[in-house]
Structure 1
Amino acid sequence: MRPDKRRERIVAMVLERERVSVDALADALDASRETIRRDLAELDGQGRLRKLHGGATLPGLSLYEPDREGPFQARLAENAAAKRAVARAAIGLFRPGDTLFVDTGTTTLLFAEELSRARGLTVITNSAAIAALASRGEDAQAFLLGGEYRDGGAECLGAMAIDQIRRFHAVHAVLTVGAVHEAGVLDYDAREAEIARAMVAQARAVTVLADASKFDRNAPFVVAPLEAVGRIVTDAVPAGPIADALVAAGVEVVDAGGPARDVAP
């Protein structure tokens, strides 16, 4: 296999699995371990993945220390395939020249992986990892909001970050939330909800990225009423009262498809 083809296969495997060992890559690609290590070093230098001892991971995930347990790291593993499907569907909604606020979250981190392959987008974010990924896009600009730094999510929060958000105006706010409820889109963290609300106030349109597990949950902090949301990208179209509420509020539901799900008899 030609080196360029092999490296594209390596990137594809890392994107699919999020973390892959040298042994697994060597076996799958019928290459020596030393060849794979050289490929990983080359791809790491290009910013396309992060080389680790014994393997590789996504470049954004490396900022969250994959070997360290924590709440954000645990959420990265929850519904990962569904979140990735949502992220891949969402990137097609934006065009060169668009300016996007993007808040911190596990789904928006995966969305940032797609931003790294997009063209002509300007991204304003409070996430160090999302800024790093978004800046790799062709003809891209990325602005990282400052403020009080929270290590767990590699994010900036608080009054300083909110003040900086007010200095921008974006076409879109792209948000991840803790819950989608008839009461609105909600979050479990008061300070993250403040950031998201500030982004909504400074954007022309709001896109929410939410896998199906977020529907009909409840959370204590309101980010925005449903009427303020233009569209929700999800891996499974909701049904029942929440679906009726979305229709009544004029929210477009974008079906990302997503992984196969078990259906109860």
Structure 2
Amino acid sequence: MRPEERRQEIMKHLNERGIAKVTELSEIFQVTEETIRRDLEYLEGKGYLKRTHGGAYNIKIGQEETAFYIRNMRNRLEKQSIGKVAAELVQPGDVIAVDASTTALQFVYFLKEKKDIVVITHAIKVVMALEGNRDITVICTGGTLQPRTLSFVGPLVESALSNYNIRKAFISCKGITLEEGITESTELQAKVKQEMLKAAKETILLVDHDKFGTATLTTMAPVTAVNKIITDTGTPKEDLDKLKKLGIEVIVAPGPGEVHNVSYGESENRHLTH
């Protein structure tokens, strides 16, 4: 394959996925990582993408949130596994904050049997998932609706979060590296999550293996801003070891084959994909 053709294919991949790692592209196109880095440097010079540590992201995707239903289909089983482990950290009497990520939504499905908890969220899907549960108090922050993420953003959200005594915040992100920290694709989402970090006594980051080594548009916080990170078995051990050295508790959820295939939200997802 000629360099021009390979670069076109790289852009097709980025248009579909939004982000990509150098190692991943090297395997796909059967060329060295150095060749891929030169390709990314060339494409960045043309204004097609933005390079990050270990990869690149599509500039358009980096500035605009990918539609919720698309994100919800990526690494679905891994997100379920992470969500199940995260739900075990929630105790009766907890006041928790939950962001609008698809990983956090999988976590929320495992809260349905919990009792005497308060869930504060800016996510429409989280509210819908817990609707009708008399043992869980759900508080929606309000704010300005962002249709692609099905969430509320803006000053009203940030002000609301600062008014509550939040015990634990469960959030996710678009990318995580030691250098750039925890990153988001829009400043509006980053600000909401920053307020969750400030308001909560304990913060748990729910992040699947694809997010590691990737940095997107804006840094939400350094990795040391969170207390725990829950990830899946696909995350490289070297990345986990680096986080542990920083004093962050790292929990690796079981592989997808070890998690029961939960039915929570299946009818919702059928609707989304039609």
Q: Scaled by the length of structure 2, what TM-score is found?
A: 0.66
State yes or no: 1:89 paired with 2:85: yes
Where does structure 1 lack aligned partners over 5 or more consecutive residues?
A: 1-69, 261-265
- Paired amino acid for 1:203: A
User: How many Å apart are 1:118 and its aligned residue?
Assistant: 1.9
- In 2: Cα distance, 1:154 partner to 1:213 partner: 22
Matched residue, 2:222:
225
State yes or no: 1:169 paired with 2:165: yes
Matched residue, 2:72:
76
CA contact (8 A) 2:194 2:221 kept: yes
Would the alpha carbon gap of residues 93 and 237 (structure 1) be closer, same or farther in structure 2, given more than 3 Å must change?
farther
| Residue number among 152, 171, 178 corresponding to 2:174 in the alignment | 178
State yes or no: 1:216 paired with 2:227: no
CA contact (8 A) 1:99 1:171 kept: yes
- 1:57-108 per-residue CA deviation (whole Å, 9 max, x = no partner) reads xxxxxxxxxxxxx722111111111111111111001111111110101111
- 1:99-146 per-residue CA deviation (whole Å, 9 max, x = no partner) reads 111010111111111122222211100012202323544521110011
- In 2: Cα distance, 1:119 partner to 1:180 partner: 33
CA contact (8 A) 1:115 1:137 kept: no
Tell me the secondary structure at the aligned position of residue 216 of structure 1.
coil
Map residues 4-43 of structure 1 onto 2, 5 A cutoff: none
- In 2: Cα distance, 1:75 partner to 1:237 partner: 18
| Residue number among 150, 156, 165 corresponding to 1:160 in the alignment | 156
State yes or no: 1:247 paired with 2:247: no
Runs of at least 4 residues off by over 3 Å: 134-138, 237-241
State yes or no: 1:147 paired with 2:143: yes
| Identity level (%) | 25
User: How many Å apart are 1:197 and its aligned residue?
Assistant: 0.3
Would the alpha carbon gap of residues 247 and 107 (structure 1) be closer, same or farther in structure 2, given more than 3 Å must change?
same
Matched residue, 1:121:
117
- In 1: Cα distance, 2:203 partner to 2:251 partner: 13
- Paired amino acid for 1:72: F
Q: Scaled by the length of structure 1, what TM-score is found?
A: 0.68
User: How many Å apart are 1:259 and its aligned residue?
Assistant: 2.1
- 1:17-56 per-residue CA deviation (whole Å, 9 max, x = no partner) reads xxxxxxxxxxxxxxxxxxxxxxxxxxxxxxxxxxxxxxxx
Where does structure 2 lack aligned partners over 5 or more consecutive residues?
A: 1-65, 258-274
Whose RCO is larger (CA < 8 A, sep 6+)? Answer: 2
